[in-house]
């Protein structure tokens, strides 16, 4: 195990999250020696700028040689540390990294920022390069199309939140408003080619974390104007629907 770190951008190997991640990696390699291509952490630990307090979760990625290999995906608390285990076939994950979807602002960080725990073949840099190459090739229309798809979901969530508030279903209204905030944040990310570390980072960086019903509605309205300016209004006819 590497020596304890703690400098800017360096892992703190005395942090219980890193200790659990190391132990999990050793166990995975021991149990599935012929199936695992790489193991890495993503999220705050991968960025190396968390506070080392040990109270966050460990996002652990396991890339396998073939789909269905290795351990099953799981979420479990291990010695007080929450571990979110993602298991994926390496080729499938590379295909995902080469695709821009409506969730791109919330998924790109997993392709770009990882910290290897086991990567003898250098697959993780290949993953990062594949995603960055796709971004370089992607045309603005691809991001606009993804943003429009996301916008419809955000608009529906906002309308539902407003209706629930009218019915005094406060708790449900707040849940739907939270969804509308997050989707509006992802639309902003797509329109500006900005990705976020996680949903909390998305709403904070776009100024939507504390936005009320009216403010979220105004953001969605502004996004609708931007989408129309980019070639197609969000509202249309039945013929437009069939020609989409």
Average confidence (pLDDT) over 214-232: 96
Task: Provide the angle, in degrees to the nearest 10, between the axes of the packed helices 213-229 and 170-192.
Answer: 30
| Residue 160 lies inside a defined structural domain of this protein | yes
Tell which of 137, 170, 202 closes a domain.
Answer: 137
Q: Which helix (H) or strand (E) holds 85?
A: strand 81-89
Tell me if 169 is assigned to some domain.
Answer: yes
Question: Do 24 and 132 fall within a single domain?
Answer: yes
Owning domain of residue 237: 140-242
Domain identity same for 146 and 123? no
130 with 215, same domain: the answer is no
What distance in Å separates the CA atoms of residue 21 and residue 172, rounded to the nearest whole number? 36
Average pLDDT over residues 26-44: 96
At which of 117, 137, 157 does a domain end?
137
Our measurement of the distance from residue 21's CA atom to the centroid of its chain's CA atoms, rounded to an integer in Å, reads: 20
Which CATH number do you get for residue 100? 3.30.460.10
Whether 26 and 132 share a structural domain: yes
Predicted local confidence at residue 14, as pLDDT = 72
Element (H, E) at 62: strand 58-64
Q: Which residues contact 196 (CB under 8 A, 6 or more apart)?
A: 105, 106, 109, 185, 189, 202, 205
Instruction: Please say which residue of 91, 110, 137 terminates a domain.
Output: 137
Instruction: Determine the pLDDT at residue 241.
Output: 78
Asked if 191 and 226 touch (Cβ cutoff 8 Å), the reply is: yes
Closest to 84 (Cα-Cα) out of 12, 16, 20: 20
pLDDT of residue 2: 39
Does residue 153 contact residue 109 with C-beta atoms inside 8 Å?
no
DSSP 54: S
57 pLDDT tier (thresholds 50, 70, 90): confident
116 with 133, same domain: the answer is yes
Task: Give tens-digit pLDDT for 151-200.
Answer: 999 999 999 999 999 999 999 999 999 999 999 999 999 999 999 999 99
The pLDDT value given to residue 3: 35
Distance CA 226, CA 220 (A): 10
The first and second tokens of residue 139, run together, are 């045309």
pLDDT of residue 4 exceeding 90:
no
Residues 148 and 17: their CA atoms lie apart, in Å, by 38
**Pairwise CA distance, residues 82 & 216, whole Å:** 32
Cα–Cα distance for residue pair 212/209, rounded to 1 Å:
9
Question: What is the total count of domains within the chain?
Answer: 2
In-domain check, residue 190:
yes
Distance, CA of 106 to CA of 102 (rounded, Å): 9
């Amino acid at each position: 195990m590497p020596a304890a770190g703690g400098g800017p951008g360096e892992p703190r190997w005395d942090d219980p999250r890193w200790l659990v991640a190391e132990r999990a990696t050793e166990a995975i390699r021991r149990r599935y020696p012929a199936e695992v291509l790489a193991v890495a952490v993503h999220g705050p630990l991968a960025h190396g700028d968390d506070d080392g307090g040990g109270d966050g979760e460990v996002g652990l990625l396991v890339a396998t040689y073939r789909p269905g290999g290795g351990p099953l995906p799981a979420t479990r608390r291990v010695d007080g540390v929450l571990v979110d285990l993602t298991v994926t076939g390496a080729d499938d994950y590379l295909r995902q990294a080469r695709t821009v979807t409506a969730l791109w602002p919330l998924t790109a960080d997993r392709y770009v920022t990882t910290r290897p725990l086991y990567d003898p073949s250098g697959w993780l840099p290949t993953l990062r390069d594949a995603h960055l190459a796709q971004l370089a090739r992607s045309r603005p229309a691809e991001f606009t199309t993804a943003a429009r798809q996301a916008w419809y979901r955000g608009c529906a969530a906002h309308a539902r939140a407003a209706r629930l508030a009218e019915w005094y279903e406060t708790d449900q209204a707040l849940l739907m408003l939270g969804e509308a905030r997050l989707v509006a944040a992802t639309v902003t990310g797509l329109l500006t080619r900005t990705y976020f570390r996680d949903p909390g980072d998305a709403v904070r960086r776009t100024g939507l974390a504390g936005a009320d019903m009216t403010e979220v509605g105004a953001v969605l309205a502004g996004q609708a104007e931007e989408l129309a300016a980019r070639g197609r209004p969000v509202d249309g006819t039945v013929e437009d629907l069939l020609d989409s």
